[in-house]
Amino acid sequence: NAGVTQTPKFQVLKTGQSMTLQCAQDMNHEYMSWYRQDPGMGLRLIHYSVGAGITDQGEVPNGYNVSRSTTEDFPLRLLSAAPSQTSVYFCASSYDRQETQYFGPGTRLLVL
């Protein structure tokens, strides 16, 4: 199993550009989530999904969209990037919401 994979590893964007961060897991996990991690702030939940076709907002959803068309994939879309979205983004998955989460390697995003 590859576990949780994320692409790209690094990305530089200009303000106003859009992009999609990819996340995939091959563990047949129902629950997937996106976090951002900023210095001194800890991990904060952006969006999550409890299964294909079901998504919901986390603590800091503004400026981000998600969809879950398959169990395996959970992409995060930045609609119009802002410097405040400079962060490290982690995708995580678990069998269900009660289980331990497994994290992907992260995407480091810089918005200029």
Partner 1 sequence: GQNIDQPTEMTATEGAIVQINCTYQTSGFNGLFWYQQHAGEAPTFLSYNVLDGLEEKGRFSSFLSRSKGYSYLLLKELQMKDSASYLCAVRDYLGSGAGSYQLTFGKGTKLSVIP
CB of 101 to partner 1, least distance (A): 7
Q: Is 89 in the site for partner 1 (CB under 8 A)?
A: no
CB of 16 to partner 1, least distance (A): 28
CB of 80 to partner 1, least distance (A): 27
Among the listed residues 44, 52, 72, 95, the single contact to partner 1 using CB under 8 A: 44
Length of the chain: 112
Query: 46 CB contacts (<8 Å, ≥6 apart)?
Result: 33, 34, 35, 36, 58, 59, 60, 61, 64, 66, 76, 89
Write out the E strands in the chain: 4-7, 10-13, 19-25, 31-38, 42-51, 54-57, 64-66, 76-78, 87-94, 102-103, 107-111
Among the listed residues 54, 79, 110, 112, the single contact to partner 1 using CB under 8 A: 54
Count, residues near partner 1 per rule CB under 8 A: 21
Contact residues for partner 1 (CB under 8 A)? Answer: 35, 40-45, 48, 50, 54, 56, 90, 97-98, 100-106
